[in-house]
Structures are given as C-alpha cells and as structure tokens.
C-alpha cells in the first residue's frame, strides 16, 4: 500500500512561492514605478552633489548653511519615511493576493497541495526582499553622495546609516504586513491603504492623545536617529506633539504588529472563498 | 529564480556590501569624506597645543570689510577709543593690518597653565620693531627661547624672577609676544607661547610629548565639520562651565554636553550654526526636546513681529545621535531695524 503524499510545511511551501514571486515582482509593471520612485532620491542626490561641487558656498536652508549629514537626515524623513516606505507598503502589500485574483491565477496556487497561508507568506517574503534590495542600495547611494558635502564625515555618520537601514527594513516589514492584511480583508484595499497611510496616520500624529498609537508611523519614527525636519506648519505641530516611545518598545510593538497582521492575513486567506469574476 | 533575478540580487547585495565595507573602513580608520578635505582649519592650528580646550578663528579682514559691519557702523556709531589706543601702542590697525586670528584657551587639569590661559595667533602686517619697543617702554623684557625673541610682560605685581613661574603671586599669567614667522604674531600666556615656538620649530612629535591640536581627532572632527564660515569657535563644554563662575545648583542643571561648536558667516547678514555634542543619545534627545520646545514657542510668538519672522523661520534644529545643531540666519534688514531703534533711543538716554 503506497503512502499518502505528505503536505509540505508552511515554511517550505512559502519558500517555493517566494522563489516564484520574487522574479514576478521584480520584473512587473509595478517595478517601473518602483524604479522611478527610488531613482528619484538618487538623482536628487547627484544634483545636490553637483551643486555643492560647483558652488563652494555649499547648501543653504533658509539662508543657513547645512551639512551633508543634515540633508541626508532630511531626505530620510521626507522622502523615505513619510513617502516611499508607506507607498511601497500600500502598493505591494495590498496587491499580494489581489493581483492573483485580478489576473484570475489564484486558483492555480490554491489547487496546489500546500497550505493556503504559505501563498501569502511566500509573497510577503518576496515583497520584503524585493523592496529591501531596491530601497537599501538607493539609500546607500544617497548617503555616499550627500554626506561628504559641507564637510561631513562618512565615518562619523556611518552608525546613523546602519540605524537608518535597520529602521527602513522594519518599516517595510511593518507596512507590508499591515497592508497585506488590508489586501486580504477588504474589497478595495488600495483605497483603504492610501487613506490609512496618507490620511489617518499623518492626521492622528498631529494631535495629542493615544490615537497615534494606532499607527505604524508613531513607532517607526522612534527608530529614526535624525532630527525631524521643520519644513512646514504641519511639521511644527508634529514637533509640539512629538512623543517618542523607547526603541525597545517600538521594536516590540512593530514585531507584534507584523506577527499579528500576518497571522490574521493567513487566516483570512485560509477561510475566505475567492470568487473570480468572469 | 531566473538568471535575470539572480543578477539583480547579486548587484544589489554587492552595492550594499561595498557601501557597508567603505563605511566600516571610514568609521574605524576615520578618513575624511571629501577628496578635498585635508587636515582642516587654518594652518595656525599647528602651533596650538593639543590640550587646548577651546579654539576659535575669525577672518578679521572679511568681517571688517563686510556689508553688515559697515551697516552697523553707520547705524550704531561705536567709540573707536580702544582701537585707536591699540594702534597708538602697537602700531596695529585692526581694520587694515590683521587678516585673521586664531585664538585658543587652555585650562588643563594638571595646572601647567593657569585657568583661562590663552593665546592669540594673528596673521597680518606688523611693525615688529615698533611693537617690541612699545612693550619694552612699558616694562617688558626680551628673552630668547629656542632661537626666537620673546617679549615678556610680567604683571606689575609679579615676582621679580620671570623664569621662576608663569604665574604671579596673584595667579595672573605673564603675557608674552613673539613673531613666529613674518606676518604671524603670537600673543598670550608665556607657557603657551613657548609651546607654540616648540611646535613651530619641531612640529608634531607625540613621542616627545609635543603635539599640536591637529592631533586631537575629536576637536579636529568638529573643526572639519564647520562650513566655510568666517568666524567659529570649538571646544570642550566643561571648559566653559569651569570659567562661567555659575552657582553649583545652576551648573548641575546644565545639559550633559561634552563638545560645542559655534560657526558664523558674516557678510550682508549673519548666518550660523550652534552645535553641541552630548555625552550620550539620551542627553542629546533631552537637549533637542528643550530646544524644540523653545523653537516652537518662538516661532508661534513671532507671528506678531514680521521683522523677526525671517530669522525665526531660518531656525533649524538638526543633528543625529549625540549631535544637536541649531542653524540660524539673521537678514541684513533686521540690523536696519536695530539701527533705527538705537537711533530713536539715543536722545532718550541722554
């Protein structure tokens, strides 16, 4: 009597899905958008470096000279934390399962003898590796282009860069998990994700109270070593009501957020019956 | 995984690896970032002893000729008596004869220098004979130290033997002047002048216990980090604390700052940066919180005073890790307002 074929473990299945999905994610149409988004800061850094080389007076912010490390800090805040990381989370996180439904290919994955949640998990890993491998080199290039300007020292700023890279990985993982949950639970995940990332989060952070604890940004901002830029009246309000949880508390909460969001997403994928529109 | 994907992963990891490797080397070896970044700071720092707690620089020529200085001079006429007296006594006209100055203060714990002992290295055009003659007329005597003429002016109540100590009975240091090289005058505490002569003659020799401030990496990193400002000061914050003569309870409330740096560029207006290196990240965060609070209040409060708004908007809190910085810019128009206010107030004072 032959033995019944064993169902592979969730992790092994997830790795197979990861292998398939990484290439798909990297060479999809969305990657063009991702390339433009991450090429922007590098181009900006090249321009700033050229300006610094051509004009010996260096950079000025409101007439005052600023060093390269300060400009790099501003770019990390304004471009990466407030824009690129949430946008990548929304666009990729919400589409982990939604894309398969839209392309009507989810059936091919679900009919395989693998746990359904491993599909989501594998795709989440692929998202994380894809975004990390694109975002981190972009930040690295920006760092080496910007920090030496204005008499900045790469050696002195390097520990800050390591903290930034770690923070960005944590940010991508957290936003990706949260939006993966949104993508598996809601019907119009992209709209809901955009409202959460660019409506709820910035709005709640402006006010005192406990609501800000229901955002990812509140915990992520605690991991940023750079000073928050004072670029607008909104930033001024953010500065006034700026509360910073400890790094340990932030990391713990974000780890719980990732764990719970992925578990709930996996549960949703397991339980939900996807009806493909004809 | 396709070949294309594999290549992408390899290129991406290589970029990260090369970047991290370079960063680690820069962090441990400490090479300057810019290709043009050299030792940093003016050449006169080579004559300042390594244990200097505060060093400062001013491009006197640029500052004296700045639009701001001319504007202030027109708006608030300042008595030129001190400047005239200096010219009469030494033949030095600050406005035209001095190009730049480097000053240092040494307050070492070993007590080799009296607290606050300092030295000024001035580069410019000096009438050496006239200056020496004037100082000798006032009781100074000339010594030779390592082949250099040193004019030593002891305090009036000092011990009669000048070689016995750098300090008088009342703790005042003797003042010396030496022309280190043509166009470079050093004036200050005798001990510091002597060590400057040693450094000028022999250069850095750490094995022999002779090293200039250019070998003090912590301080020089701060000097290098300053922009092309025409006036700056860098130093250990505890040096300021000990010289401040503040009550102990006030001193205990001061933030835990180890280094400070102030830089300013004076031309049409004034723009500059205050920078502090806190002892740890926690102290830096506390300091940032305090400054941030003040800034927020100041910015909100400046709404009613349009002339202050440009200055307030220019205030920028920055820095990472243990560094806290505050940059500012004061436009020339504000000095017009101050000048007008001073002109209006003058008759009332009389």
Report pLDDT for A27.
80
Q: What residues in B contact A140, CB-CB < 8 Å? A: 15-16, 19-20
Q: Which has more confidence, A133 or B322? A: A133
Binary contact (A64, B273; C-beta < 8 A) = yes
Q: How far, in Å, CA of B297 to CA of B323, rounded? A: 22
Whether the CB of B36 is below 8 Å from some CB of chain A: the reply is no
Residues whose CB is less than 8 angstroms from the CB of residue A248 and which lie 6 or more positions away in sequence, other chains included: none
Judged by CB atoms closer than 8 Å, whether chains meet at A155 and B23 is answered as yes
Torsion of CA A212, A215, A219, A221, to 10 degrees: -80
Which residues lie below 8 Å from residue A116, measured CB to CB, with a gap of 6+? A110, A266, A269, A270
Which tops the pLDDT comparison, B205 or B120?
A: B120
pLDDT at A136: 92
H helices of B94-171, in order, are: 94-97, 128-137
DSSP state of B270: E
* Residue A4 pLDDT grade (very low, low, confident, very high; cuts 50, 70, 90): low
When pLDDT is averaged across residues B6-35 and rounded to a whole number, the result is 78
CB contact under 8 A, A70 and B313: no
* Closest Cα in chain A, distance from residue B257 (Å): 17
A27, A65, A243: which to substitute to probe chain B, counting the most B Cβ within 10 Å?
A: A65
Q: Which of B20, B320, B324 to mutate to test the interface with A (most CBs of A within 10 A)?
A: B320
Nearest-angstrom CA–CA distance, B207 and B224: 25
**Chain B CA closest to residue A242:** B289
The alpha-carbon gap from A277 to the nearest alpha carbon of chain B, in Å, equals 31
> For residues B244 and B141, which has the higher predicted lDDT (pLDDT)?
B141
Please indicate if any CB of chain A lies within 8 Å of the CB of B288.
yes
Over the Cα atoms of chain B, what is R_g?
24
DSSP A163: H
Q: What is the pLDDT of residues B50-59, one digit of tens each?
A: 888 889 998 8
Contacts of A144 in chain B (CB under 8 A): 19, 22
Q: Which of B69-78, B102-111, B170-179, B267-276 has the highest mean pLDDT?
A: B267-276
Average pLDDT over residues B162-169: 46
- The predicted pLDDT at position A3 comes to 61
pLDDT beyond 80 at A21? yes
Tokens 């992790």 belong to which residue? A11
Of residues A231 and A275, more confidently modeled: A275
Mapping DSSP onto H, E and C, the string for A17-66 reads HHHHHHHHHHCCHHHHHHHHHHHHHHHHHHHHHHHHHHCCCCCEECCEEC
A150 inside 8 A of chain B by CB: yes
Tens-digit pLDDT profile for residues A203-256:
887 777 788 888 888 888 888 877 666 555 556 655 555 667 888 888 999 999
Q: Which residues contact B214 (CB under 8 A, 6 or more apart)?
A: B39, B41, B45, B46, B204, B220
Q: Average pLDDT in the A13-33 region? A: 81
SS (H, E, C) B188-230: EEHHHHHHHHHHHHHCCEHHHCECEHHHCHHHHHHHHHCCCCC
**Model pLDDT for residues B28-46, shown as the tens digit of each residue:** 765 543 433 445 678 888 8
Tell me how far apart the alpha carbons of residues B38 and A217 are, in angstroms, rounded to a whole number. 41
Distance from CA of B333 to the nearest CA of A (A): 14
Across the interface, do A236 and B296 touch by the CB < 8 Å criterion? Answer: yes
Q: Answer yes or no: is pLDDT of A57 > 60.
A: no
pLDDT for residue B169 is more than 60: no
Q: Could you tell me which residue, A53 or B14, shows the higher pLDDT? A: B14
A residues 7-26 near B, CB within 8 Å?
19, 22-23, 26
Instruction: Give the pLDDT band of residue A168 (cuts 50, 70, 90).
Output: very high
Taking residues B271-300, report their average pLDDT: 81
Q: Which residues lie below 8 Å from residue B122, measured CB to CB, with a gap of 6+?
A: B98, B100, B101, B184, B185, B186, B187
Q: What is the pLDDT of residue A167?
A: 92
Residue A18 has pLDDT above 90, yes or no: no
Can you tell me the ipTM of this complex? 0.82
Alpha helices per DSSP H over chain A: 10-26, 29-54, 68-75, 85-88, 95-102, 106-110, 116-146, 154-185, 189-195, 201-205, 216-221, 233-240, 247-271
Contact assessment for residue A21 and residue A31, using Cβ atoms and an 8 Å cutoff = no
- In this complex, which of A23, A129, A141 lies closest to B2 when CB atoms are compared? A23
Q: What pLDDT sits at residue B350?
A: 42
Confidence at A166, pLDDT banded by 50, 70, 90: very high
A169 SS3 class: helix
> With an 8 Å Cβ cutoff, is B39 touching chain A?
no
From A68, A236, A79, A239, select the one nearest B313 (Cα to Cα): A236
Instruction: Give the one of B23, B273, B285 whose C-beta lies nearest to A158's C-beta.
Output: B23
Q: How confident is the model at residue A192 (pLDDT cuts 50, 70, 90)?
A: confident
- Banded pLDDT at A110 (limits 50, 70, 90): confident
Q: List chain A residues with CB under 8 Å of B232.
A: none
Query: In A, residues 214-243, which contact B (CB 8 Å cutoff)?
Result: 225-227, 229-230, 236, 239-240, 242
State whether A63 and B12 contact (CB < 8 Å).
no
Give the percent of chain B with pLDDT over 90: 2
B115 pLDDT band (50/70/90 cuts)?
A: low
Q: Closest Cα to residue B213, out of B34, B42, B58, B60?
A: B42
Two tokens at A1? Answer: 């009597």
Quick check: A99 pLDDT over 90?
no
Chain B residues within an 8 Å CB radius of A62 = 310, 313-314, 316, 329
Task: Name the β-bridge partners of B266.
Answer: B270
Which chain A residue lies closest to B14 (C-alpha atoms)?
A137
pLDDT-wise least confident of A10-19, A71-80, B269-278, B333-342: B333-342
Instruction: Kindly determine whether residue A239 and residue B296, on different chains, have CB atoms separated by under 8 Å.
Output: yes
**A65 pLDDT exceeds 60?**
no
CB contact under 8 A, B5 and A23: yes
B220 pLDDT exceeds 70? Answer: yes
Q: How far apart (Å, rounded) are the C-alpha atoms in residues B350 and B335?
A: 23
pLDDT above 70 coverage of chain B, percent:
73
Q: Label residue A102 by pLDDT band (50, 70, 90).
A: confident
**Regarding predicted confidence, which is higher, B39 or B255?**
B255
User: Out of B16, B224, B314, whose CB is closest to A64?
Assistant: B314
The proportion of chain A whose per-residue pLDDT surpasses 70, expressed as a percent, equals 84
* A63 shares contact with chain B (CB less than 8 Å): yes
Q: Which chain A residues are Cβ-neighbours of B262 within 8 angstroms?
A: none
Distance CA A107, CA A273 (A): 11
Residue B308: pLDDT over 80: no
Mutate to test the interface with B, among A70, A81, A134, A236 (most CBs of B within 10 A): A70
CA-closest candidate to residue B218, choices B52, B330, B344? B52
Rounded to an integer, the average pLDDT of B140-151 is 86
Give the whole-angstrom CA distance, residue B265 versus residue B63: 9
Interface contact flag, B227 A151, Cβ < 8 Å = yes
Average pLDDT over residues A145-150: 81
> Cβ–Cβ of A227/B319 closer than 8 Å?
yes
Q: Measured between CA atoms, how close is A245 to chain B, in angstroms?
A: 12
> What is the rounded CA–CA span in Å between residue B195 and residue B106?
12
CB B34 to CB A67 under 8 A?
A: no
Q: Which of A98, A103, A162, A91 is nearest to A127 (CA)?
A: A91
Q: Per-residue pLDDT for A173 more than 90?
A: yes
> What is the average pLDDT across A133-143?
91
* Cβ neighbours of B2 in A, within 8 Å: 23
A65/B318 Cβ within 8 A: no
Give residue A256's pLDDT. Answer: 93
CA A226, chain centre distance (Å): 18
| Mean pLDDT of chain B, nearest integer | 75
């Amino acid at each position: 009597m032959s033995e019944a074929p064993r169902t592979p473990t969730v992790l092994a299945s997830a790795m197979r899905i990861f292998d398939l999905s990484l290439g798909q994610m990297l060479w999809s149409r969305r990657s063009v958008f991702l390339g433009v988004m991450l090429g922007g800061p590098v181009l900006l850094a090249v321009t700033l470096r050229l300006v610094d080389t051509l004009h010996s007076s260096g950079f000025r912010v409101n007439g005052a000279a600023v060093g390269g490390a300060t400009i790099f800090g501003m770019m990390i805040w304004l471009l990466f934390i407030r824009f690129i990381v949430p946008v990548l989370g929304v666009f990729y996180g919400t589409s982990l399962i939604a894309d398969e439904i839209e392309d009507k290919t989810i059936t091919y994955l679900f009919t395989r003898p693998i746990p359904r949640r491993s599909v989501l998990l594998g795709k989440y890993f692929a998202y994380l590796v894809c975004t990390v491998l694109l975002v981190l080199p972009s930040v690295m290039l920006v760092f080496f282009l910007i920090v030496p300007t204005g008499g900045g020292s790469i050696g002195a700023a390097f520990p800050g860069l390591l903290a930034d890279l770690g923070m960005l990985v944590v940010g991508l993982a957290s936003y990706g998990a949260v939006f993966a949950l949104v993508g598996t639970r809601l019907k119009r995940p992209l709209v809901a994700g955009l409202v959460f990332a660019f409506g709820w989060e910035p709005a709640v952070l402006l006010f005192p109270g406990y609501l800000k604890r229901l955002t990812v940004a509140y915990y992520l901002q605690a991991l940023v070593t750079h000073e928050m830029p004072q670029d607008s009246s909104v930033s001024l309000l953010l500065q006034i009501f700026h509360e910073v949880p400890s790094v340990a508390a932030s990391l713990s909460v974000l780890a719980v957020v990732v764990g719970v969001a992925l578990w709930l997403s996996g549960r949703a994928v397991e339980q939900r019956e996807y009806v493909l529109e004809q | 995984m396709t070949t294309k994907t594999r290549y992408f992963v390899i290129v991406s990891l290589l970029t990260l690896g090369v970047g991290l490797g370079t960063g680690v080397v820069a962090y441990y070896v400490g090479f300057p970032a810019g290709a043009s970044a050299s030792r940093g700071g003016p050449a006169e720092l080579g004559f300042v002893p390594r244990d200097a707690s505060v060093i400062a620089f001013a491009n006197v020529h640029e500052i004296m000729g700045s639009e701001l200085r001319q504007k202030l001079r027109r708006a608030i006429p300042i008595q030129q008596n001190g400047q005239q007296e200096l010219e009469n006594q030494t033949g030095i006209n600050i406005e035209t004869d001095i190009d730049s100055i480097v000053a240092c203060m040494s307050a070492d714990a070993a007590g080799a220098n009296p607290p606050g002992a300092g030295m000024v290295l001035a580069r410019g055009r000096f009438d050496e004979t006239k200056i020496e003659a004037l100082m000798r007329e006032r009781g100074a005597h000339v010594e030779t130290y390592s082949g250099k003429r040193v004019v030593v002016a002891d305090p009036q109540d000092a011990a009669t033997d000048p070689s016995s100590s750098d300090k008088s009975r009342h703790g005042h240091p003797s003042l010396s002047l030496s022309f280190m090289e043509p166009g470079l005058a050093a004036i200050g505490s005798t001990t510091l002048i002597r060590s400057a002569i040693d450094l000028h003659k022999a250069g850095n020799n750490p094995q022999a216990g002779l090293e200039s401030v250019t070998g003090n990496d912590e301080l020089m990193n701060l000097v290098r980090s300053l922009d092309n400002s025409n006036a700056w000061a860098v130093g250990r914050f505890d040096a300021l604390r000990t010289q401040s003569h503040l009550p102990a309870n006030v001193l205990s409330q001061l933030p835990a700052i180890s280094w400070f740096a102030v830089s300013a560029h004076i031309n049409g207006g004034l723009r500059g940066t205050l920078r502090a290196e806190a002892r740890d990240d926690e102290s830096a965060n506390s300091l940032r919180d305090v400054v941030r609070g003040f800034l927020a209040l100041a910015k909100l409060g400046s709404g009613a005073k349009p002339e202050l708004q440009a200055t307030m908007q220019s205030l920028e809190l920055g820095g990472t890790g243990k560094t806290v910085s505050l940059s500012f810019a004061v436009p020339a128009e504000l000095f017009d307002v101050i000048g007008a206010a001073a002109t209006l107030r003058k008759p009332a004072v009389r």
